[in-house]
Every structure is written in structure tokens, then in C-alpha cells.
Copies of this chain bind each other. A is one copy, B any other.
Amino acid sequence: MFRYSVPIKNIMGTPTGRSIATLPKSFKSLIYSKHDVDNCSEVLSVKEYVPKENLKESIVLRTLAFPINPSDINQLQGVYPSIPEKTLDFSTDEPAAVAGNEGLFEVIHVPTKASDKFKVGDWVIPLKSNQGTWTDYKAITNPSDLIKVNGLDLLSAATVSVNGCTAYQLVNNYIKWDSTGSNNEWIIQNAGTSGVSKLVTQIAKARGIKTLSVIRDRDNFDEVAQELENKYGATKVISETMNNDKTFGKQDLPKILGPNGTIKLALNSVGGKSSSSIARKLEKNALMLTYGGMSKQPVSLPTSLYIFKGLTSKGYWITENTKKNPSEKVETVEGFIKLYQEGHIETPNLSRDFNHIEWDVSNDKDILEKVKEGINAKGKKQIVLLKWK
């Protein structure tokens, strides 16, 4: 049924330099003009329109894949602090914007002025958020708005901008790690089964940094823990019950860390009790970075950790980091690709790691309904894969 009969890991960007014969006359995008916090999928519609850009003079892209991220949904709900400007570029009566902040694109046309930077067949992602990725085609006038991602598999490339870059920067940009990897330095993180956490684990391992991953209690705890340890390289996986148990912290934790083991960084995407329990395990003058709040509980930290243990608690947001420092995002993607090509990053598995939605470009009358279902679905990450003839 689906075109990916070869393993996803073997599908990669292959710049050919050959332009496709004809450029599209119109683009088709999932757009919105309003927000609805309770029924956000209802604000979406499909719109076909003639792009405002001169395509001959633009880098023209066709879309290969885009994930449905929580931030995309929060934008539709109107509760996300970063949103695109709405315009009349899409032949609508009311100003509208194309949904989506992340996606993987293939270059299908390069104007002469950009031919030193991009080739037809290159795989690219937008540098910044708010560019509108839930679309079949895109036209880019400024080459600096794109980052090349040749060398990644399709699923890694389609998710590198948020999860990949988040994990890479969390590990690399805040702590001055012992560069020899021989100092028994640790990261502790909660939500240890999340996409970002698995990437953190692998990126840390490549640098010789150990990871203590906390996961929720579950019936198949041993199975999940073993997968995280054996497949992704987590040094040790513990449950939230262990994380919250003070006796565990005093008696078992030192044995896990071993001689001179210190936890220098805590990565929190849960909040509540889980966040205070990982913070308590940090060494003196350490850092906790909060990049998510799945429990919807605040980050609650004892005064004594701040005053007597010198804890610093900060937030992390890839969107804001990229706004402040776009070139760092480019370096981050390059660093991620390098790790991937050196074999440090596990290739995602479409059926294990994602629920996928097919956008058959030649027969797409049901795409709006499919994406709406994807927005409202629970469980694994939703990804839309575009099927081109």
C-alpha cells in the first residue's frame, strides 16, 4: 500500500542537479485564519492558490514529510507564544497562515543566484519556525532560510529541526563537559522514553557522558528499560517511584553513579514531583533545563537546593534560541548529521516510532480529514508522508 517498500533508512537526499520539467502552477496547503483552544483541528482548511513568489526566481521545494508536533497544535489552539503572521497570500477573504513549523523538503528548482548553495534533489528544512510546512510545495526567496539535511534518513530529517536540535543543544550548549569522557559525568532526565530523551541518550553517549533516564512506572518496566539501555545506550534507567524515593537517592544512587560520579545536568520535560526529584540528585552548582511540562504541574524546587546547593533552573526553547542565533541552528543540524553519519544515532522505525498519514499528492481529497484525525490522536508521534508520482 505504501511507497516505502525499501527501509526508510535507505531513502536519503541525493542531489542530482536535474531540474524537474515543469514547475507547479498552484500550491495546496493546510491553512487557518482563526484559533480554537478546544477544537483546534476545526480551524484548518485545505486551500489551493497561486503562489505570490516568482517561481523561476525562487528555490522551489516539494514536501516529503512533516510531523504534527505539540507546538503546531498549540498554535492552532491559539495558546502558543510564537505564531506566524496571517496574510492574504492564499486567496482567502480573511488573513490566513499555513500550519506547521517543521518539515522535510526536496529542492525541485534552483534559480541561478542560489545555484552555488543548493542543487535540485537536495533535502532541506526551514531554518526558523512559523514558515508553514503543512503544504505540498513551498517557494523560498532567501537561501539563508534553508538548512541542508542530506545524509539523514527521511524520518530523522523530518524531525531534526525540533527533536534533533533540541537534544543536541541540551547536551552540548550548557555544560562544559570533560572532553576526555573519563570523568564519570552524568545527565539525569525524566520522560526517558520520549523522542528527545532517546536522542539525548545517544548524543551524550557519543561524547562519553552517562545518562540516568527516569521513566514512568509500568507493567513492562524491565522490557522498556532494557530497550533504552541496550538499543539507545542509556547508562541506567530508573522508575519515577525510585526517582521520588529518598532512600533510593541516598543508598542506591551512589552505587549507580560509581566512584566520583556526578550529575551535572538535569533535563526536565515533566515538571511537578518528577522535576524536583531529578533536581535533588544534581551535584552542587548544577543546572536544570526545563523544555517541556507533560505533567502540567509547575516546576517546584526546594529553597535549600537553590541557596545551599547553588542550583540554577532555566528554560530551553529551540524556537527562541534560533531567533537569537540562527547560525547556531545551522551548526547544530550539521553536528547532528555528523553524529548520525558516524553511526551514533539510531535510525527511527516508521511503524515502531510513528503513526503515519499518507498524503497522496495525486489523489488528496481526504488529506484534511486525515490530518485532523492525526491532530486528535493520542500515542505515538504523528507524521505525514507525501506520496509523489
A377 → chain B closest CB, angstroms = 23
Residue of B nearest to A290 (CB): B306
How many chain A residues touch the partner (CB < 8 A)? 29
Docked CA distance A307–B292 (Å): 8
Tell me whether A259 is interfacial, beta carbon within 8 Å: no
Contact code string A300-331 (vs B, CB < 8 Å = 1, else 0): 11111111111111111100100000000000
Asked if residues B312 and A303 are in contact (CB atoms below 8 Å), the reply is no
A292 → chain B closest CB, angstroms = 7
Asked if residues B320 and A315 are in contact (CB atoms below 8 Å), the reply is no
**Residues of chain B lying within 8 A (CB to CB) of residue A303:** 271, 290, 292-293, 298-299, 315
Docked CA distance A303–B301 (Å): 12
Asked if residues A311 and B314 are in contact (CB atoms below 8 Å), the reply is yes
Residue of B nearest to A81 (CB): B308
Tell me whether A244 is interfacial, beta carbon within 8 Å: no
Tell me whether A172 is interfacial, beta carbon within 8 Å: no
Docked CA distance A338–B177 (Å): 41
Asked if residues B316 and A313 are in contact (CB atoms below 8 Å), the reply is no
**Residues of chain B lying within 8 A (CB to CB) of residue A355:** none
Docked CA distance A307–B170 (Å): 13
Known: A276-B298, A298-B276. A304 touches B312 (CB 8 A): no
Contact among B307, B309, B316 for A307, CB-based, below 8 A: B316
Known: A299-B300, A303-B271, A303-B292. A313 touches B310 (CB 8 A): no
**Residues of chain B lying within 8 A (CB to CB) of residue A300:** 298-301
**Residues of chain B lying within 8 A (CB to CB) of residue A301:** 298-301, 313
A127 → chain B closest CB, angstroms = 20
**Residues of chain B lying within 8 A (CB to CB) of residue A81:** 304, 308
Asked if residues B290 and A298 are in contact (CB atoms below 8 Å), the reply is no
Asked if residues B307 and A311 are in contact (CB atoms below 8 Å), the reply is no
Contact among B276, B291, B314, B317 for A313, CB-based, below 8 A: B314
Residue of B nearest to A320 (CB): B310
Docked CA distance A116–B298 (Å): 56
Pull 12 A–B residue pairs with CB atoms less than 8 Å apart, ordered by A.
A81-B308, A276-B298, A290-B303, A292-B303, A293-B302, A299-B301, A299-B303, A306-B313, A306-B315, A308-B320, A312-B313, A313-B314
17 A-B pairs besides A292-B307, A306-B313 with CB distance below 8 A are A81-B308, A291-B307, A292-B303, A293-B302, A293-B303, A299-B301, A299-B302, A305-B315, A306-B315, A307-B316, A307-B317, A308-B315, A308-B317, A310-B317, A312-B314, A313-B313, A313-B314
The 8 nearest A-B residue pairs measured at CB = A306-B315, A293-B303, A300-B300, A307-B315, A290-B306, A313-B313, A81-B308, A298-B300
